Amino acid sequence: MAVSPDGRRVYITSPQSATNEPASLAFVIDTATDTVIATVQVGDGPMGVAVSPDDRKVYVGNTGSDTVSVIDTTTNTVVSTIPTGRGPTGVALTPDGSKVYVANDGANTASMINAATNTVTATIPVGIFPIAFGIFIQPPAPPSLPPRFSGTPGKANCTGQSVSALAKQYGGLNNAAATLGYSSVSALQNAIMEYCRV
């Protein structure tokens, strides 16, 4: 799952349908209405997903087809399919959006993709079965900017949505607070409540 920089869209991959049949889909959810607004056909076994900092592209690691699908967020269509190493799973972008890194679980490598040309420019040997990249490669938001959370400000479920999304993304609120630069879970929760009141 990945959230757009403005918090208005959530992108979720689905390698299987509800009946355990191959699905190869990415879903686009509008956070204002909590509804699926688009379904995008991607490669086989989609797993990792990341949104570019400018909110123009979404990258999906297709574990079963050894590719990364590039989705245009304006049209919600695949505009490019990039061959990578075997079993691409985790996907992350550099803060300027110029490079995409993909963890290739089946190849014990990471692919570096040039986002401007949609081509792999480097293959980096890493440890066995690399699975995911984390948000840690992104810089923390400057203190002068308000944080962005998953919930919609002013809605009754804003705090719950934000807390749930952070817990899932970071593996718990303690990790979320530490990664995002908050001194404690309480400080993070206070920031979420302040955001949700806006």
At 148-171, the pLDDT tens digits run 677 788 888 888 888 888 888 888
DSSP states of 99-131: EEEEEETTTTEEEEEETTTTEEEEEEE-SSS--
For the stretch 72-111, pLDDT in tens is 999 999 999 999 999 999 999 888 889 999 999 999 999 9
pTM, rounded to two decimals: 0.68
Spell out the domains of the chain, with CATH numbers in brackets: 2-137 (2.130.10.10), 140-198 (no CATH)
Q: What is the pLDDT of residue 18?
A: 61
Output 194 or 75, whichever has higher pLDDT.
75
- Mean pLDDT, the chain, whole residue set: 86
**C-alpha dihedral sign at 14, 70, 146, 175:** positive
